[in-house]
Amino acid sequence: MNTYNMVKQEFIKKWITTLHMLDSSVEHPLNVTERKNAIRLSSDIAMAATRSGATIWSRALISRTRKYTTTCKPVAHRILKKARNRMKNRCTTITRNGIFGAKMRVRKRTELLKSLVPGGELIYDKDYLIRETLDYIVYLQAQVDVMRTVAAIDSVTRDLS
């Protein structure tokens, strides 16, 4: 369980950081929806930062969230630059995979999966898409686990005080 725990540990460190950054930057929104968006945004950025730009979905997530915040821009730029240096050999838009026969169902579902995974629309290679999905699922699960635990701890400390 050590690798998965390491993943979760990295994620929570980065999440704490991004939460602080967001909280100091934004004038305190009173709305629940805004708060939820801020929390979701910070946790998405933290998740992508934990993957540190080695995958397409993490970079797409960062560039997607860049629209919503201005303070996380330096962080996002740093991660993207690091990713660009590291990913020189990675060829992402390769060639359209040949679709022989009537595999329309698979095709349709692949399109749907592409829409779910951030940055998936850019991937033409089905092989690569599956690898990205695998990675994304692992990190989504880590995110869910950490958030669930934090919520549990939070509720328990709330009951105590």
Number of residues that bind another protein (CB under 8 A): 92
Quote the Cα angle for 151-146-39, to 5°. Answer: 65
According to CB under 8 A, which residues from 95 to 154 bind another protein?
A: 95, 97-98, 105-106, 109-110, 112-113, 116-117, 125-128, 130-131, 133-145, 147-154
| Residue 84 engages another protein in binding (rule: CB under 8 A) | no
Between 67 and 158, name the residue whose CB sits nearer to another protein. Answer: 158
Q: How many CA atoms lie within 13 A of 33 on its CB side?
A: 0
Residue 67 Cβ, how far from another protein at the closest point, in Å? Answer: 18
> Whole-number minimum distance, CB 109 to another protein, in Å?
4
The separation between the first and the last C-alpha atoms of the chain, rounded to the nearest angstrom, is: 33
- Residue linked to tokens 């946790």: 43
The SS3 assignment for 30 reads: coil
**Rounded Cα gap, residues 53 and 66, in angstroms:** 14
Taking the complex as a whole, the smallest distance from the CB of residue 50 to another protein amounts, in Å, to 10
